[in-house]
């Protein structure tokens, strides 16, 4: 996965999902780590993704302290359909 390069790449590691985007990379879900070889490989794959993120961010010379969180969806008030 080329982090921050497209809006389509995704990876799944156990129950953990990593979704690539041009503005954000989302990591969510659950990864249960046991003392076994499957868990070892899953953790190694997770480490590779985190290292790619770290390397990309460290290579940026103009990172802001905190990125804008994007536009806030407008609030639309509608009549209660049950009332």
- Count of CA atoms in the C-beta half-sphere (13 A) of 3: 18
Q: What is the pTM of this model?
A: 0.78
Closest by Cα among 16, 21, 17, 28 to 3: 21
Q: Which residues contact 58 (CB under 8 A, 6 or more apart)?
A: none
Quick check: 1 and 20 in contact, CB under 8 A? yes
Residue-wise pLDDT tens for the chain (83 aa)? 899 999 999 999 999 999 999 999 999 999 999 999 999 999 999 999 999 999 999 999 999 998 887 766 677 888 888 87
* Alpha helix (H) residue ranges in 31-74: 37-59
């Amino acid at each position: 996965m080329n982090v921050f390069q497209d809006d389509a790449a995704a990876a799944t590691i156990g129950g953990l999902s990593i979704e690539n985007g041009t503005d954000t990379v989302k990591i969510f879900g659950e990864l249960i780590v046991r003392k076994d070889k499957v868990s070892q490989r899953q953790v190694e794959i997770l480490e590779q993704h985190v290292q790619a993120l770290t390397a990309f961010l460290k290579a940026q010379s103009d990172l802001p302290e905190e990125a804008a969180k994007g536009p806030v969806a407008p609030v639309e008030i509608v009549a209660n359909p049950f009332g």
